[in-house]
Amino acid sequence: MSGSRYKLLWSGTSRFGDHIEVVEKGAVVQLRVNEVWQGEWNRRSPLLLPTPYMQQMLLALCYARALRRFLVIGLGTGCLPKALRAILPRSRVDVVEIDSVIVEVAKRFFGVVPDDGSDRRRPGLYVHVGDGVEYVRQTEETYDAIFVDAFSGSELPEAFRSRRTVYHLRKRLAPGGVLAFNLSRLDAFAIGDVVAHISALVAPPAAFDPKNDERHDDLNLVLIAPTPHSSRRMRQRRLFLESHKTRLGMDIGQLLRNELHPSALRHITETFVTHFLV
């Protein structure tokens, strides 16, 4: 285990053969997959969003018409769905996670407590074990915001880059709904594909650079695409998020300033191609 300052709490193997470790240092519990940091939870500040990209994704709430139903694809340590449920206690949050081992780890070590019951009208946090792509193809539910955070290692799985998947994500958005997508700036092909499909099927997305610090240097890029029916209640929603900024660890003003000009998004792709493919 890397990092001798951390105490190993658990180790095991995912259903896909990845090595998983749960380690702790003081009040902080970390999830590592194949020795790569995947997330953490601070038991003293249980709603704190530990990475800038998670905070950036939550900015999607500023664009949604309603704040009642949410879909999160990819569980990890569960920080994002827990934050949604805490600040919007009347909401329903569905989470789809492909790896049952990650689900059990999240429940045992990261404070994820799913609700029980099959009544789709009830608020709560509901975790579904399965493929996120298949879920959006098969479900009839619609959501006010969909958050896609479905990395496999450092890359977005191929299925999430397809036009067909973005089409089904669009179908699952309620009127005025918003799609938020976490991408890696090192995966220029995925950026190009996803931006093109979202622009054609949902709306031209706003791109945000979370400005990760040295500790979180995974170079995320967050896309937020409101549907054409979205009502931009930006000021009201900004005040709402600011009322929770201490609990969540968010600087709303900075998150809004992180929006990239479209030319900067093109530059990210062009720079990757120039340096790595030529």
Domain ranges (residues) in the chain: 45-277
Q: What is the mean pLDDT of residues 4-18?
A: 92
In this predicted structure, the answer to whether residue 214 has a pLDDT above a threshold of 80 is no
* CA distance linking residue 24 with residue 30, whole number of Å: 6
pLDDT digits (tens, 9 = 90+) for 149-192: 998 666 788 999 999 999 999 999 999 999 999 998 888 888 99
Token pair listed for 252: 């709303």
Please enumerate in sequence order all residues whose Cβ is within 8 A of that of 199, keeping only pairs 6 or more positions apart, or say none: 205, 225
Q: What are phi and psi of 52, to 5 degrees?
A: -60, -35
Gap between the Cα atoms of 23 and 9, Å rounded? 5
CA distance 11 to 9: 7
Q: DSSP H helical segments within the chain, as ranges?
A: 52-58, 79-87, 100-109, 132-138, 163-171, 188-201, 234-242, 245-248, 252-257, 262-272
CA distance 224 to 222: 7
pTM for the predicted model, two decimal places? 0.93
CATH of span 45-277? 3.40.50.150
Nearest in space to 78 (alpha carbons), one of 39, 42, 52? 39
Pairing verdict, β 36-42 and 28-33 = antiparallel
Q: What is the mean pLDDT of residues 112-131?
A: 90
pLDDT band with cut points at 50, 70 and 90 for residue 278: very low
Per-residue pLDDT at 60 exceeds 80: yes
pLDDT > 90 fraction of the chain, expressed in percent and rounded = 72
Give pLDDT, residue 276: 42
